[in-house]
Amino acid sequence: MPLVPSDSPIILDPSKRIFPEFSLKRLLSTVFDPIENCRVCLLTDFDDPGIAMKDFSFLGNPASFPVQCKAHEKFFLGLKENVMSELGMKGGEMFAFKSTGGSNLDMDDQCFDSEGRALSLDADVYSRYDIILCISDWSATAPLTAKCREFGFRGATLHGLNDIILQTGLSVDYLEVSGEAEKLRQAMTGADEVEIDFTLEDGRVLTVKLFLDGQEAQKSHGLCRGKTPDVANLPAGEVYFVPVGAEGQFPMKYEDGTLGILDVHDRNITSSTLIEGSQERIDLHNERLADDPMTGTLGELGFGTQVLPVAGADIQDEKILGTCHLATGRDDHLGGDIIPGMFKTHVNSTHDDILFAPHKTPNFDISQARMKRGDQEEVLIEHFRPGQYLIDALS
């Protein structure tokens, strides 16, 4: 159902939203129309793809490969059982590549089919299929976006797939998601800058300012229709910018729970200071920033546009209305100027999202996020809730 039903107020509580049952047929036909006569395949990742993929041996260890097993159950079998025939599609094969170990790192060309044969992504996948669905542990949106422009396919990345995502973020009508994202995109496009205030538990307020230079806002809306090569990131629902500059401070919650304050100058995170947790974790981050400063370059500012439940996976959670995220690293897939060759080593050329959401960062609050556009100033988020300006834009 849409965020703004014609006969009721805007729904902001995901528990009050009714999601239809997941339908692979509906998802593919909506996202990729036209789809008839298209050759489709699946990609996934493993540390040892040759062994894991042979005869689908990974299915014997679902606890170690939950994403891959879910891809096989809901997508591979779904395609084979009826979806391909009903949509007039061909193919349906599943291939595996070596796990990159990092978000949006370029993939090795070698891949494996279900018989364990070594193949080439370029020669045997990208050049032979019209629609490629990548359901993996690590996001492959950036490398696949580059490859789709080279080989002409369309695709979607669905890393971190789980049951909540299937039942909610992949069950929505993406025509409606696209329309709602466009309303919010128009409300924010042309912004000169965005300021975000973070209030810490001790009462301190940190502010980071993102300079946007009046650029046109972009949207991740889930549609990859027509014949133009493109890759959708699913679940979708986001308005985003590529910052041209940034200054200030913002808090960071590391994977081990350590909290730090990041200093930003000239668009780059230059240092981290401990709030609480592991000083060693802070020191490691500072060493990485000193060794390869590009790892601290801010390449994205994004705002969620959907009302969805928390899925425990950033691919969905960053699309929730009232959240925002920054990202460091490569942004060439977003139209930015940070490319893999600018980093000291290949393993550093990631695109890493930093999500600010109540479930993810309960130790600090987005007390306010403000957009400035000429003489206009609007509140976009207040205490992880969309500001009235965005609610009005959806009405």
Q: Can you give the residue ranges of every domain in the chain?
A: 20-168, 177-394
Share of the chain above pLDDT 90, in %: 95
Fold of 20-168: Rossmann fold (3.40.50)
pLDDT for 229-274, tens place per residue? Answer: 999 999 999 999 999 999 999 999 999 999 999 999 999 999 999 9
pLDDT for 308-339, tens place per residue? Answer: 999 999 999 999 999 999 999 999 999 999 99
Q: Tell me, what's the pLDDT at 248? A: 98
For range 375-392, the mean pLDDT: 97
pLDDT band at 12 (very low <50, low <70, confident <90, very high): confident
Q: Tell me, what's the pLDDT at 7? A: 42
Q: Tell me, what's the pLDDT at 3? A: 40
**DSSP per position, 142-199:** HHHHHHHHHH--EEEE-TT--HHIIIIITTS-HHHHHHHHHHHHHHHTT-SEEEEEEE
Angle at which helices 174-188 and 24-32 cross, to 10°? 40
Judged against a pLDDT cut of 90, whether residue 5 lies above it is answered with no
Judged against a pLDDT cut of 60, whether residue 4 lies above it is answered with no
For range 181-208, the mean pLDDT: 98
CB contact at 8 A, 159 and 67: yes
Q: Tell me, what's the pLDDT at 10? A: 67
- Could you tell me the pTM of the whole model? 0.94
Judged against a pLDDT cut of 90, whether residue 31 lies above it is answered with yes
The count of other CB atoms within 10 Å of the CB of residue 214 is: 13
Q: Of 200, 201, 237, 199, give the one whose Cα is nearest residue 218.
A: 237
CB contact at 8 A, 188 and 238: no
| Mean of all residue pLDDT scores within the chain | 95
CA-based R_g, the chain, Å: 21
For range 182-188, the mean pLDDT: 98
pLDDT band at 13 (very low <50, low <70, confident <90, very high): confident
For range 271-300, the mean pLDDT: 97
